Amino acid sequence: MAKSLRMFNFLNMKVGALYEVIITSIDDRGRPHAAPMGVRIVGDSAFLMKSYGETRTLSNLKALGRGVLNVVDEVEPFFYCIFEQSKLSFDWSTELPVLRGAVAWSPFNLLEASKKGDYYEVSCSITSVHVKRGKPKPLCRAESSLLESLIHYTRLRYYEDLGLKEEVSKLKSLILQHLDIVERTGWPRLKSLAKKLKKKLH
Ligand SMILES: Cc1cc2nc3c(=O)[nH]c(=O)nc-3n(C[C@H](O)[C@H](O)[C@H](O)COP(=O)(O)O)c2cc1C
């Protein structure tokens, strides 16, 4: 277990970026609940979530004041959360449910949940970090989107040379969509690379 001023370093999470994690919580009957959520790192131990409506996660967190941020490095658990909850299992070695299969996890406290238009902004603070194996590789959509935009960019010249204007314009809009994801979810270095790529489109 690590406790330090910069706890998110141990989870390999960078300030400013949005990571896809699985939040586990306990419902009013004591049952574990797991839901994929995007968490934006905003400080050494602070993160923000957006809850679109009164999700079960939000009501559980409001009731108990605590939950667990589970870092997974595979996409399958997200699928199971949405479609096949029976495939998920939990470790109850602490008083909170930890997702089995998580590569790292952090218990957190709910600080505040405030309504902002169509979502609740949920402000939380992790209290410790537990790394099960290796260096965690949390999932951030900015990485796959930057990769996608690079792949599409390298195909642009090919279609331009063939004079396929419709394909060129489709590719450009696809690239812009991916760059937008980098802008919304990436950390500063990735965002600056995305800006460079965007300039090359004109
Ligand atoms: C990768 C991924 C990220 C998600 N991020 C969020 C999120 O940030 N906020 C949110 O309200 N729902 C998000 N969702 C949808 C919720 O996980 C899903 O609607 C869930 O069933 C609602 O939460 P609940 O089960 O706690 O009610 C996400 C889904 C996926 C697959």
ipTM: 0.98
Do 48 and 12 lie in a common domain?
A: yes
2 belongs to a structural domain = no
1 belongs to a structural domain = no
The Cα–Cα gap between 32 and 156 comes to: 48
Q: Which of 55, 60, 116, 181 to mutate to test the pocket of ligand 1 (most atoms within 8 A of CB)?
A: 55
The Cα–Cα gap between 182 and 193 comes to: 9
Atom in ligand 1 nearest the alpha carbon of residue 57: 26
Do 29 and 124 lie in a common domain?
A: yes
Do 50 and 79 lie in a common domain?
A: yes
Do 77 and 115 lie in a common domain?
A: yes
Do 105 and 164 lie in a common domain?
A: no
Q: Residue 151 sits in which domain range? A: 141-199
Last residue of a domain, one of 105, 131, 157: 131
53 belongs to a structural domain = yes
| Helices 165-185/188-199 angle, 10° precision | 160
Each of the 202 residues of the chain gets a pLDDT tens digit; together they read 444 458 999 999 999 999 999 999 999 999 999 999 999 999 999 999 999 999 999 999 999 999 999 999 999 999 999 999 999 999 999 999 999 999 999 999 999 999 999 999 999 999 999 999 889 999 999 999 999 999 999 999 899 999 999 999 999 999 999 999 999 999 999 999 999 999 999 7
Do 111 and 54 lie in a common domain?
A: yes
pLDDT value of residue 131? 97
Last residue of a domain, one of 112, 131, 150: 131
For residue 108, the domain's CATH number is 2.30.110.10
Please tell me the total count of domains within the chain.
Answer: 2
Phi/psi for 29 (5° steps) reads: -105, 10
Tell me the HSE value of 130 on the side-chain side, using a 13 A CA sphere: 16
Atom in ligand 1 nearest the alpha carbon of residue 52: 11
